[in-house]
Amino acid sequence: MTPLALRLASRQVTGPDDSTAEHVVPLSQVRPPHGGTIVGFAPDLDPSHTRRLLDLGFTPGEAVTARHRAPAKNPVVYRVCGTDVALRRSLAKGILVVPA
């Protein structure tokens, strides 16, 4: 593996801390045009999905905004790190946020 790949693979994923736990909701519950701050990932989210979300910019502390929903309400386009990313509801359920 390359040094970058080793660094990315070794990242630790954390959940929300106790101070924000009561206000945390899955990203799938945030409706356009609202947003929030990412605080972690659901413990049951597959580690490969978590790593991919981190690669896309869904990192704890980052602001995220729901932008558009498809006509069938799935997927939803979210803006994170200045980029629009479409996620299915099933994957967005694994991202934990504190609504703005």
User: Tens digit of pLDDT for each residue in 55-93?
Assistant: 999 999 999 999 999 999 899 999 999 999 999 999 999
How many Cβ atoms sit within 10 Å of the Cβ of residue 97? 28
> CA-to-CA distance for 82 and 94, rounded, in angstroms?
21
What confidence tier does 19 reach under pLDDT thresholds 50, 70, 90? low
Q: What order do you get walking across the sheet with 25-26 strand by strand? A: 25-26, 95-99, 35-41, 63-69, 76-80, 83-87
CA distances in angstroms from 33 to 15, 16, 41, 49, 83, listed in the order given: 25, 23, 22, 25, 15
* CATH class, range 3-99: mainly beta
What confidence tier does 11 reach under pLDDT thresholds 50, 70, 90? low
DSSP, residue by residue, 33-94: T-EEEEEEE-TTS-HHHHHHHHHHT--TT-EEEEEEE-TTS-SEEEEETTEEEEE-HHHHTT
What confidence tier does 13 reach under pLDDT thresholds 50, 70, 90? low
What confidence tier does 22 reach under pLDDT thresholds 50, 70, 90? confident
pTM recorded for the entire structure: 0.81
